[in-house]
Amino acid sequence: MKSILEDNMLIGNEEDGEDDIESEGGDENSDEDDEQDTDGFDEEEDDIAEEDDEDERESRKRKLSEEEEMPSKEAKLEDEDQSLYKLPTVDELNRLRETQMLFHSNLFRMQMEELLLEVSVKDKHRHKLNQWLNQFTSFVKSLPQSPAYQLSATKWLKENNVVDPLTLPESKGSFQFIPPTEVKFVGGAAAGTLLSTDETVDVMLVLPKEIVTFKDFKDGRWLAKRSKYLSWIAFNIQGQSDLVAGVNWTYHLGNSSRPVLQVTPASGIGKKWKVNLFPVPDATSFKLSLFSPERWTVTPTWYFGDEGAKEEEFEATPHCNWSSAIDVIMQDHLEHIGINICQHSNLIQGIKLMKVWLAQRYFNKGLRTMSSHVISMLVIHLLQVRKINSQMSGYQVFRTVILTLDSVDWIEKGMCMRNDTGEDVPSLERLCDLYEVVFMDPSGRVNLVGNLMKEDFLLLKHEAQLALQILNSSSADSFDFLFMKKREFYQLCDQVLSLKLNKKKLKKIVKKHGNLKQHELDALGDLRFPAWSAVMKTLKRGLGDRVMLLVPESGAVPSWPVGESPPKGKSSLVIGFVLDEIAAKALLTKGPAADDPEGKNFREFWGEKSNLRRFQDGSFHEAVLWGTVNQPVGDRRLIPGSVAKYILNFHYDMEDGDVNYICQGTESILRLGHCRLPRKYGTGEESTVEAIQAFDAISRKLRSLDLPLKITSVQSTSEVGRHTSVFPPIVMKFLTSGKGLEVCESRVQFATEIGEVPPYTYAIEVNVFLETSGKWPDNLVAIQAIKAEFYKTMASQLTDNGIAALTFPKYLQVLWNGYIFHVKVCYRREIYLSRLVANDDGVLREQDTDAAIKLETELEILPRITSALASVQADHPSFNSGVRLCKRWVGSQLLLPHVPHMAVDLLVTYLYTNPAPYDAPHTPHVLFLRFLSLLAHTDWRTTPILVNLRDTFTVEDVTELNRRFTSERSSLPPMFIATPYELRGSSSSVDDTYRYRLASMWTMESPSLPIIYRCKQLASAALDYMTKAMLKNTFDIKLIFRPSLDDFNVVIKLQESHLSRRKESVDASVPNPKFVKPYKYQRKESMPIVMFDPAEKYLTELREAFSHLALFFHDEFGGNVIGLVWKPSALPEQELKIGSLEGHRIFGVKTVKQAPNMEAILSDIEIMGEGLVESVTINDKT
């Protein structure tokens, strides 16, 4: 952005002939230059141009002549570059200038233009839609008048096989059908903001004055009338197959008192949109003030019959009035929009963008929707208060609306489009009492958002806030996050609570909070909304700051055939929690002080759970305790659920069976069911932390050693150090004896007799850096020898201290407090030495050799990433379990041999550093869902993943990486994941690609495209299962953690007794959990078997031998199968190539050919896995 700005300046300067600031520091123009730099307005620039024109004309002439004399560079340029150097046209400059002034970035602008093109309705379709409306109008207008019926008469309905969707008590009045006076589009189709992705088009039918009387305002008669009117149309239109393909009932905005007729137009247009029919009264039929929110329009005696309570006890019926007022005001609004919006294409564009934004967040459908009509009205309001002007670009309109949504308070203060607060209009304070969310229309009597709950609006505000963050960030993906990615409910909420409610429960809930009848009257019997909002209020009070947001799921609006009665509304409620990660885990809910009068309230709310407690500062407070101090984090994460369950039970008698708390199910995968540890393992966070603490202790110990060269730093490169080890090492008693084991020189090793394999013991890698010395040899082998000398010295000193240590040729193995460490001495120059390669003339040149890159990774890159990920963990406590859960899944699907561990780690980190369009995840559960969605929905071909660890990417890096990604796509890894740490510093070589050559080094070799495709499929299947089944009782998370073996050509089954990691398996079945014996230190302890996993060895050998013919799949976490898939390209017979005979047989006499020697390979597989392989099964389903 900034560079574009500067560039533009330069172009401007060219006209003036001004010179650059740097070269002519003392020039008189420099001040002006500075000024322009800061504000960058073009008008100013032009002024200067005029002033200076005269003076500079001379010099410009000189320059031009110079240019002619000199053989200009332009001429020399290649043809293809020529277009880049042509003189800029005015249009081009204008566009560049506009981009810089009015848009986020060039790419953003182009993306937006594409999007608008995509969602705008094509002329063809618009034409067809108009045609259909004409057809429909003439049909409806030609319908004959009906005889006059009693409003309560239902006989004609039955005769015509239509069910009136609205059931109200009998009321007086009559109904007669007379064709509408007018039929026209309202909403999007009228304002020109209709999107091709919209599902419905709204059409308004203006009822003639004769059939609506002034008295119809009372007792919901208008609502009954409109519903009858629609019923009449319904049975008349049903048979018209040339006009409609289907006729259904549905509810307007999910409000059960407002049924609308939804017809599917015949012809192609019906596939795109359905048409909702809205009958509205003639403008002169009602006075709007009749439906003013503070009035009551329903008489209790009518609604409840004779035993109804006295009228004085009842207050206003705002929601009921609202239901009718919408119809009354519809024509006004239509006119309003017509005047203010329709001519301004940029406003329309802005509204369209808003609509896409809302749609991606599902605000546009469901029971409580933020309709696009509200947005149009909001834009008009902003026009009136001059926050938007008609010159703004669509992007700016969008931005301003988002900004407004972020800043307004429609809950406490409300907003009104009418600026003169006349006395006849209710005040905003009063309105805020009547409705949960208030945004009044220009008349001041209709609440445009009367259907919303408080929490809906808070969610909207939250989304707007996130959108602003995205808009302000310079990230290249901001467009995607705003308009392309769907915000799914389940991926938004850290935890989900599902409540089973029925009519009885609803009544009970409402009753508890006040006048049941009043609510029944206002909602015309539909108690869901008042009950839900009461539950939300109670939950909010109970959870307090544990949750940032309570998100009620919006639920689907039903749609049913006209001949059937309306389906029973789902009264169950699904509530998502967006947690405050720290507060959510608080053990105590602290109440008011003991002597505070508020204390009574608190006790009443919490019941017996509340106790008086003494706090550390000596004060006494009411408080509720939810757990114990030494509970593992994995358990404490579930506290919000316990709180919610308790409150619901205490206040509404909700049993455990009625409340389903979803979160622990997913995370249970991380728990160890098969062994009982002396300390609670939970989901393993504590074990990771303990391992890291042990690492810190050992590094202090190492520093204290007396070595020829001092230790300058000790770094960790191990998985557990970056918090991503699925099964962190657990301290327990080592197996030192038993069948097949023997102790030799204080080290356990395998005896000739073969027994069961001992459990896997992890080693934590430790890098030790020494102070610099000139005495190191120049020879790589000699360096290894010197290192070994260091190991020996260290080992002898550690042993003297009573710590078991063994010297291996390439590392030092230390056993400390039950943890095993592999210590390696690092020498930075080794990287340089391994980069040197002799070329033909015997001179050494630097080159990226495999060995050098490996060293560079271990010594330079990994430690930095490790510490960066540790800081991610510090910011986001759920990171640890989250990564481990995701990695466990990738592993369980046998993909870890192909998807590097680091790739998983970084993808998860990416979800934390770039959480848009959500907040950063706060539980492993939600992270896992987002991870699956990332795998399932990312188009890796066009999306680079830039993991901005610690915000260390520079703007240039991001631009350059993106540029490279686009221009060199085919030569880069299919899954591109780059971090700032693999970018190198200034180089000693002249090569300019040096800095970026290692970008995405983690995925350089794998995953390949087929693997990525498989990931995608598996992830979307898993995600699908999760979202569909999560709320059901039958939900079993393990289902998606079991691999399907159908797709493998050969399945190799391994013997459990030789799997050292079998306890890590998802289905590790141990009937009685074994109590793990705690580790006890003893002097002269012998070193156990470390890092020995036969399955891993076997897999490595198989891959080395047959990777040119087949792919191997295995779950490193105790998986007992290896799957094999033949590479399709390797199977057919080929020309004989002696060089690549590996594993082929040859045949044919005249023309000798080769083909994979299947028989021999299969027997090789058994031979190489002797003792480990249980069976080899060929899957011949082809």
Site for another protein in 830-859 (CB under 8 A): 832, 836, 838, 842-844, 851
Residue 268 as a binder of another protein (CB under 8 A): the answer is no
In angstroms, what is the minimal distance from the CB of 1079 to another protein?
A: 22
Nearer to another protein, 88 or 1073 (CB): 88
Residue 90 as a binder of another protein (CB under 8 A): the answer is no
Please tell me the count of residues contacting another protein according to CB under 8 A.
Answer: 115
Residue 1130 as a binder of another protein (CB under 8 A): the answer is no
**Candidate list 343, 779, 847, 1044; residue touching another protein; CB under 8 A:** 779
Residue 785 as a binder of another protein (CB under 8 A): the answer is yes
In angstroms, what is the minimal distance from the CB of 92 to another protein?
A: 8
Q: Among 57-65, 880-888, 949-957, 1118-1126, which window interacts with another protein (CB under 8 A)? A: 57-65
DSSP classification of residue 368:
S
**CA-to-CA distance for 906 and 887, rounded, in angstroms?**
11
Nearer to another protein, 469 or 784 (CB): 784
Tokens read off for 621:
């407070």
Residue 771 as a binder of another protein (CB under 8 A): the answer is no
**CA-to-CA distance for 591 and 582, rounded, in angstroms?**
18
In angstroms, what is the minimal distance from the CB of 859 to another protein?
A: 15
Q: Among 881-889, 903-911, 914-922, 1171-1179, which window interacts with another protein (CB under 8 A)? A: 1171-1179
- Contacts to another protein from residues 505-544, by CB under 8 A: none
Nearer to another protein, 330 or 972 (CB): 972
In angstroms, what is the minimal distance from the CB of 175 to another protein?
A: 43
**CA-to-CA distance for 207 and 203, rounded, in angstroms?**
13
What is the phi-psi region of residue 378: left when phi exceeds 0, alpha when psi lies from -120 to 50, beta otherwise? alpha
In angstroms, what is the minimal distance from the CB of 997 to another protein?
A: 18
- Contacts to another protein from residues 738-757, by CB under 8 A: 744-745, 747, 749-750, 754
Nearer to another protein, 674 or 937 (CB): 937
End-to-end Cα spacing for the chain? 56
**Candidate list 243, 711, 732, 1136; residue touching another protein; CB under 8 A:** 1136
**Candidate list 122, 941, 1028, 1042; residue touching another protein; CB under 8 A:** 941
DSSP-derived pairing of the beta strands 620-625 and 610-614: antiparallel
**Candidate list 672, 806, 899, 1019; residue touching another protein; CB under 8 A:** 806
- Contacts to another protein from residues 222-251, by CB under 8 A: none
**Candidate list 310, 629, 781, 1083; residue touching another protein; CB under 8 A:** 781
State the greatest distance between any 2 C-alpha atoms of the chain, in Å, as a whole number: 111
**CA-to-CA distance for 96 and 7, rounded, in angstroms?**
10
Contact 505, 652 (CB under 8 A): yes
**Candidate list 39, 412, 604, 939; residue touching another protein; CB under 8 A:** 939
**Candidate list 26, 54, 73, 617; residue touching another protein; CB under 8 A:** 73
Nearer to another protein, 106 or 1008 (CB): 106
In angstroms, what is the minimal distance from the CB of 941 to another protein?
A: 7
Tokens 């018209």 locate to 240
- Contacts to another protein from residues 898-927, by CB under 8 A: none
DSSP-derived pairing of the beta strands 439-440 and 415-416: parallel
Strands (E), 1021-1152: 1050-1054, 1074-1075, 1110-1114, 1121-1126, 1134-1135, 1144-1147
Residue span 1-20 as binding mask against another protein, x where in contact by CB under 8 A, dash where not: ---x--x--xx-xx----xx
Nearer to another protein, 71 or 239 (CB): 71
In angstroms, what is the minimal distance from the CB of 171 to another protein?
A: 45
Residue span 982-1001 as binding mask against another protein, x where in contact by CB under 8 A, dash where not: ------x-x-----------
Tokens 């590392």 locate to 811
**CA-to-CA distance for 540 and 551, rounded, in angstroms?**
11
Residue 693 as a binder of another protein (CB under 8 A): the answer is no
Tokens read off for 1069:
């079945």
Strands (E), 917-1068: 945-946, 977-978, 1050-1054
Nearer to another protein, 764 or 1037 (CB): 764
Contact 100, 10 (CB under 8 A): no
**Candidate list 544, 777, 802, 1073; residue touching another protein; CB under 8 A:** 777
- 379-382 contacts at long range (C-beta below 8 A, 24 or more positions apart): 379/340, 379/341, 379/347, 379/350, 379/351, 379/354, 380/336, 380/337, 380/340, 380/341, 380/417, 381/415, 381/417
Nearer to another protein, 105 or 160 (CB): 105
Tally Cβ neighbours within 10 Å of residue 359: 19
Burial class (CB in 10 A: 0-12, 13-18, 19+), 945: buried
Nearer to another protein, 89 or 1182 (CB): 89
**Best CA proximity match to 460, nearest among 497, 499, 407, 498:** 407
- Contacts to another protein from residues 92-151, by CB under 8 A: 96, 106-107, 110-111, 114-115, 117-119
Question: Phi then psi for 1091, rounded to 5 degrees?
Answer: 50, 45
**CA-to-CA distance for 1128 and 371, rounded, in angstroms?**
52
- Contacts to another protein from residues 347-366, by CB under 8 A: 356, 359-360
Contact 195, 119 (CB under 8 A): yes
Nearer to another protein, 84 or 90 (CB): 84
**CA-to-CA distance for 355 and 349, rounded, in angstroms?**
10
- Contacts to another protein from residues 1043-1072, by CB under 8 A: 1058
| Cα Rg of the chain, angstroms | 36
Residue span 1139-1168 as binding mask against another protein, x where in contact by CB under 8 A, dash where not: x-xxxxxxxxx--x----x-xx-xxx--xx
Residue 1097 as a binder of another protein (CB under 8 A): the answer is yes
